[in-house]
Amino acid sequence: MVLATDQITKYLIMTRLSVGGTVDVFPHFFRIVSVRNKGIVFGLFSQGSVQNSQWIFIGFTVAAMAAIIVYSERKKISGSLEFYPLALILGGAAGNLVDRILRGRVIDFLDFSIRDRHWPAFNVADSGIVIGVTILLIQQWIEEKNQKRASVGQ
């Protein structure tokens, strides 16, 4: 679902907004932009040689996706709550991987700011990754807390 939503929204941005174009949705808070990001999540590591870094990012993404799939198979998580955040992360990684392979850059378009604070533009795939990781961390924290309670009660 993340992959499909990501690619559809990126297609809409590419076909309806020129590179560098903006649409104010909520002035001084949220706007739609058309950015081509040669870095990773939120524009990190966008400096340097595009050609070399794209292969590194593609390799890293494929390795991370393979690790998630192998981990999921070994732990048989398909029926657990851990499945959902991992699916978000996997879908997000796949969405940005498609951009890197087809376009050599990732399409970013969600742009937020509050007063003079500006968050780098991002996309649905980035959101899936961040939300998935956040849910995993919360799940891990809850699990550790429950394990401590159980060990104290014994």
Query: Which has the closest alpha carbon to 109: 13, 1, 11?
Result: 13
Query: Which has the closest alpha carbon to 60: 74, 40, 81?
Result: 40
Distance (Å, whole) CA 100 – CA 31? 24
Cα 83 to Cα 36, 66, 106, 133, distances in angstroms: 31, 15, 26, 12
Query: What is the model's pLDDT at position 101?
Result: 93
Helices (H), the chain: 2-16, 50-75, 83-103, 124-153
Per-block average pLDDT, block size 10, for the chain (154 residues)?
96 95 93 86 54 79 93 74 90 95 93 91 95 94 86 70
Active-site amino acid positions: 108, 126
Specify the pTM. Answer: 0.83
Query: What is the model's pLDDT at position 76?
Result: 73
Token code pair at residue 64? 């991370």
